[in-house]
Amino acid sequence: MVRICTLLLILIIFYNVFSDDIIFPTENNIITGGFGEFRWNHFHTGLDISTDGVEGKKIFSPSNCYVSYVKRDFYGYGNLIFLEDEKYIYVFAHLKNFVTKIDTILSKNKFRQAIYLPKNTLKFKKGELIGYTGSSGGVVPHLHFEVRKKDNTCINPLKLYHIEDTIKPWIEGVLFEPADDTTLINGVYDNYYITKKNGHQIESLKVNIFGKFFISAKVFDRINSISSKIFVYKINIKSNGKIISTIYFDSLKFGYNKTSPLHFRTDLKVSDANYLIKLYDMIKTPLASVERETLYSNSDTNIVIEIFDFYGNSKSVKISVFNEKNIKKRYEDRITLKKVNRKLTLTTSGIYSNYNLNDPFDDFFESYEVDKGYRYHILKKGCNIESKNIVDGIPTDKNIVLIESTKILNLDDSVFIKPYSDLYFLYDTKDFHHREFFPLSKKYDFDLCEDMLESGIKIYLNGFGGYSFYNVKGRDISFVKNLNSRDSLFVYKLSDFVIGKDTIKPKSFLLKKYNSGGERCYHYKIIDQGSGVDWFFVTDSNDFYVEPVIGKSKVIIKLHNGDSNKLFIVKDKEGNRDTLFLY
């Protein structure tokens, strides 16, 4: 009786979510991550399906399919299956394990491996069990599910299913940004961000703008889970009743996938900035149909932002723009850096100036001319001192705020750094988790080369051979790469960083050992609070089966019972090693 009820439940769920004879891959259809959402360096190309925080939920074949690719890994997608039918490729990621007929084609002597299978070599019928959900790849337990066309274009999986959805999306914040240096927003030459207050959603607002401007919006949706936020499906921007731009997330090509940092204002210090999408810079992108995206305060006086989820639920916010030039007293917080000899010399920037535009410029800034080529303007008062560095022989203990060229330069020879945006720098002389960090100082050179482009920015680091580059976010730091004496990094955005050296070897703790199926198994916990464990080295540098469980900082080592007294080496990302003796 229990088995019959379970079967009926599965059939009911499949009936409610299937379309065109393609069934949903799990018994649970709670969506916790949507298509097109921002991830730190890419768009989310599928759905995240809840497994209630546990591993081992069943996964089913969406149609009559064959296996085209299987991968067993601890990184990225983790354990992975590609199934194909005549129309689509279905991707299932972060699995705990596969069913036996998939598992048998994988080697038992090595954990990390990938296998491509010829068409129709290994088949599954619609609804047949293919594997079990997990957390491989170092993620919380869930199923990542993608649907791709045969040319590998990812499509929104919701196109294939009907999921009951009556929850409306909502707009939680609107950002107004000057389109040039002459635009005033609520009396200042700066961004203006408004968010919901006291839990009330934004439905209408008024703003005073004089000049050209752009808009960004923080938008959310839920499909069938009160607790999980996902991204919306479509956004319309209307001016005076006419649609001037539409952004939609139907499909994504992997060639465009890495551009997500260009479309979301994650550089701003606002909550959930990964949902704050720019409603501009969309022309000539595959994400939008755009008539125009620059807005004008004298003509775009009635603006409406409309958002839609995939199943047609919608929400809008009405924006009334009135056009008055009213300059308020305010603090200047911009920095303009001019290129000199095709490069920028990095200067320090701390708390920006307390300079008021209504006061004479010379009362606040002292200017230095260098080689009759360019000038530094340095605050004389009202500034917090954060650095004692020297640039071109000029002490910067009052913070250089402007480098002005006295030569004629083109507009594209400039890099404009906005407040709370684009570039932040942190130089820390303190030990951080027992690491030796060295600050940038006058004995090192740091050159910033080329403008911020859509494809990212390249920075050059000289004089740091033997050290490493770490990104910093709050109290967390992450290893990026070992540096040569002359080196470069290619990034989309720079966050706070530290240049330093990890001198502490990783620590290993034996959790348990046992015999199983003719093998001797060891479970070790490996911790490195410096550059982090090099799990690729741990997995690939030994002659026996090694399976990392990254989420638990654990590794499982298997030896044949006849093997004994083996040495096993673990290494961190800066090369510090620890040797384990397996007896």
pLDDT tens, position by position, 152-197: 999 999 999 988 888 999 999 999 998 887 888 988 878 899 987 7
Most confidently predicted of 223-227, 285-289, 325-329, 344-348: 285-289
Does residue 504 carry a pLDDT above 90? no
**271-309 residue pLDDT tens:** 888 999 999 989 888 899 999 999 999 999 999 999 999
* Strand, helix or coil for residue 142: strand
Question: Which pLDDT does position 516 carry in this prediction?
Answer: 86
Total-model pTM: 0.73
Strand 519-527 to 554-560 pairing = antiparallel
Average pLDDT (557-575) is 85
Instruction: Count other C-beta atoms under 10 Å from residue 477's C-beta.
Output: 24
Question: Which pLDDT does position 363 carry in this prediction?
Answer: 54
Question: Which pLDDT does position 381 carry in this prediction?
Answer: 45
Does residue 11 carry a pLDDT above 60? no
Length of the chain (residues): 583
Most confidently predicted of 53-67, 362-376, 474-488: 53-67
Average pLDDT (417-432) is 29
The more confident residue out of 529 and 81 is 81
The mean pLDDT value of the chain amounts to: 76
The more confident residue out of 323 and 15 is 323
Burial degree of 508 (CB within 10 A; 0-12, 13-18, 19+):
middle
Does residue 386 carry a pLDDT above 60? no
- What percent of the chain is predicted at pLDDT more than 70? 70
Type of residue numbered 145 = F
Cα 57 to Cα 26: distance, rounded to the nearest angstrom: 8
Average pLDDT (325-341) is 41
Question: Which pLDDT does position 457 carry in this prediction?
Answer: 55
- Measure Cα distances from 176 to 108, 203, 213, 214, 328 in Å: 57, 16, 7, 6, 17
Question: Which pLDDT does position 493 carry in this prediction?
Answer: 52
Question: Which pLDDT does position 198 carry in this prediction?
Answer: 65
Q: How confident is the model at residue 315 (pLDDT cuts 50, 70, 90)?
A: very high
Cα 127 to Cα 14: distance, rounded to the nearest angstrom: 9
Cα maximum dimension of the chain: 90
Average pLDDT (308-336) is 73
Average pLDDT (515-526) is 90
Q: Which of 96-105, 137-146, 224-233 has the least mean pLDDT?
A: 224-233
**97-114 residue pLDDT tens:** 999 999 999 988 888 999
Q: How confident is the model at residue 341 (pLDDT cuts 50, 70, 90)?
A: very low
Does residue 222 carry a pLDDT above 80? yes
Question: Which pLDDT does position 412 carry in this prediction?
Answer: 32
CA 510 to chain centre: 35
Task: Specify the residue for token string 């044949």.
Answer: 560
